[in-house]
Amino acid sequence: MADAMERANAFAAELKAAFGDDLVSVVLYGSAARGEYREGVSDLNVLVLLRGTGAASLRRGSALARRWVAERNPPPMILGEEEWHRSADVFPIEYSDIRDAHLVLAGTDPVQGIEVHAEDLRRQCEREIKAKHIQLREHFMLAAGEPAELGTLLVKSFPTFLVLFRTVLRLAGDPVPRNPEETVRATAARVGFDPAPLLEIWRARAGGGKLSPAADSPVVGGYLDAVERVAVWVDRLTHGA
């Protein structure tokens, strides 16, 4: 974790040097900001706010961004300062996650004064959980006969659903743990599913291990059941029983 923070801080300093007064904020968010970063597994997610995002401005950071991505980091998320303040209604899940766990690496804290409305959060959650549930079914059908592919599907899709689990807890008015295992357990208690299969998937991901389950194994069935139950819970929150 210390090495990851050194890399993130060095990148922020380079961005500051490249953009000067045009840089508003550099913010670390995601697993590293929650204290859950694991080398080789987690991403270093960086939000960069600029006063202007035209072509000339973006070119100033091009070489830095290319090198950052070449080091197997996701591209920095670039937003304009005004754009950031006007987009909480469009990206309430992302804003909520950043607001709840972030580290300012340079500039000002952009979450100050940001308000996420419950109805915006509910609407995006419904859209995302239903879309991801459909995609999970599609990929399951394609991978059902290949245990290694199926295991990869479970491990790689887990972080997406973990974000949605945190959103469910926010919508329910429950505390949102930073720890993934606690988040799974809290969501399972709120929605009503067995957390054990999801915890097995998380531990495989966190430990860098591989899963190769059969399509009818408890871990696969439990995962699909949990996602479906969360989708139904969100749907009932929207449309009633």
211-236 pLDDT, tens digit each: 999 999 999 999 999 999 999 999 99
Residue in 98, 71, 57 with CA at minimum distance from that of residue 11 = 71
Q: How confident is the model at residue 1 (pLDDT cuts 50, 70, 90)?
A: low
Confidence band for 241, pLDDT divided at 50, 70 and 90: low
Phi-psi region of 72 (alpha: psi -120 to 50; beta: other; left: phi over 0): left
Helix (H) or strand (E) holding 80, with range, is: strand 77-80
| pLDDT tens-place string over residues 147-183 | 999 999 999 999 999 999 999 999 999 999 989 999 9
Radius of gyration, alpha carbons of the chain: 19
Of 82, 83, 119, 114, give the one whose Cα is nearest residue 98.
114
Q: Is the per-residue pLDDT at 100 higher than 60?
A: yes
Instruction: Select from 145, 22, 36 the least CA-distant residue to 97.
Output: 36
- Mean pLDDT value across residues 81-107: 96
Q: What is the pLDDT of residue 206?
A: 86
User: Of residues 32 and 189, which shows the higher confidence score?
Assistant: 189
pLDDT > 70? residue 26: yes
16-42 average pLDDT score: 90
Q: What average pLDDT does this structure show over 4-32?
A: 95
- Quick one: pLDDT at residue 40? 73
Is the distance from CB of 31 to CB of 5 less than 8 angstroms?
no
Distance CA 110, CA 104 (A): 9
The answer, yes or no, to whether residue 239 has pLDDT greater than 80, is no
| Residue whose C-alpha is closest to residue 51's, from 31, 74, 79 | 79
Four-residue CA torsion sign, 190, 194, 165, 145 = negative
d(CA 130, CA 160): 12
How many Å apart are CA 56 and CA 49, to the nearest integer? Answer: 15
Digit-coded pLDDT (tens) for 110-133: 999 999 999 999 999 999 999 999
- 3 state DSSP class of 138: helix
41 by Cβ neighbours in 10 Å (0-12 / 13-18 / 19+) ranks as: middle
pLDDT of residue 39 exceeding 80: no
Which residue would you say has higher pLDDT here, 217 or 2? 217
- On average, the pLDDT of the chain sits at 94
What percentage of residues in the chain have a pLDDT greater than 70?
A: 98
Predicted local distance difference test score (pLDDT) of residue 25: 97
Domain locations in the chain as residue ranges: 2-107, 118-239
Q: Give the CA distances from residue 94 to residues 6, 23, 30, 47, 216, in Å, rounded to whole numbers and listed in that order.
A: 24, 21, 10, 11, 34
Query: pLDDT band at residue 37, thresholds of 50, 70 and 90?
Result: confident
Q: Is the pLDDT of residue 108 over 90?
A: yes
C-alpha–C-alpha distance, residues 80 and 23, integer Å: 10
CB 136 within 8 A of CB 224: yes
pLDDT the model gives residue 149? 96
Q: Which superfamily, per CATH, for 2-107?
A: Beta Polymerase, domain 2 (3.30.460.10)
